[in-house]
Structure 1
Amino acid sequence: MEELSASWNEIDNKEEVFEEIMITYGQELLHLVFSYVRNQAIAEELTQDIFIKVYYSLNKYKGKSSLRTWLWRIAINRCKDYLKSWYAKNVVKVDDEFLFGIDRNENVEEEILQKEEEQLLIQAVMNLPIVYREIIFLFYFEELSINEISSILKINENTIKTRLRRAKHLLKKIGDEEKWKNI
Structure 2
Amino acid sequence: MEEELDWRSQSNEDAVVYFMKLYGEEIKRLTFSFVKNWEQAEDITQDVFVTLYTKLDTFRGEAAVRSWIYTIAINRSKDFLRSWHHRKIAFTDKWLPLTAASPTTVEEDVMIQSDNKMLARSVLELPIKYREVVILYYYNQFSLKEISEMTGIGEGTLKTRLIRGRNKLQDIYCRNGGRD
C-alpha distance in 1, partners of 2:140/2:10? 32
Question: 1:76 corresponds to which residue?
Answer: 74
Query: Matches of residues 74-113 of structure 1 in structure 2 within 5 Å?
Result: 74-96=72-94, 99-101=95-97, 108-113=106-111
C-alpha distance in 2, partners of 1:180/1:66? 37
Question: 1:143 corresponds to which residue?
Answer: 141
Question: 1:117 corresponds to which residue?
Answer: 115
Matched residue SS, 1:175: helix
For residues 110 and 63 of structure 1, do their structure 2 counterparts lie closer, same or farther at Cα, with a shift above 3 Å needed? Answer: same
Q: Deviations over 1:98-143 (max 9, x none)?
A: x145xxxxx9222111111111111110000100001110011101
For residues 2 and 151 of structure 1, do their structure 2 counterparts lie closer, same or farther at Cα, with a shift above 3 Å needed? Answer: farther
C-alpha distance in 2, partners of 1:69/1:41? 23
Query: Matches of residues 9-28 of structure 1 in structure 2 within 5 Å?
Result: 11=9, 13-28=11-26
Structure 1 residue 12, shift from structure 2 partner: 5.7
Question: 2:58 corresponds to which residue?
Answer: 60
TM-score, L = length of structure 1: 0.84
Are the aligned partners of 1:126 and 1:133 in contact in 2 as well (CA < 8 Å)?
yes
- Stretches of 4+ moved more than 4 A in 1? 1-4, 177-181
Are the aligned partners of 2:131 and 2:165 in contact in 1 as well (CA < 8 Å)?
yes
Question: 1:176 corresponds to which residue?
Answer: 174
Equivalenced residues, count: 169
**Sequence identity percentage:** 35
Are the aligned partners of 2:137 and 2:143 in contact in 1 as well (CA < 8 Å)?
yes
C-alpha distance in 1, partners of 2:138/2:156? 17
Choose 1 or 2 for highest CA Rg: 1
Quick check: 1:41 aligned with 2:65?
Answer: no
Gaps of 5+ in 2: 98-104
Are the aligned partners of 2:31 and 2:73 in contact in 1 as well (CA < 8 Å)?
yes
Q: Deviations over 1:31-53 (max 9, x none)?
A: 11111111111111110111111
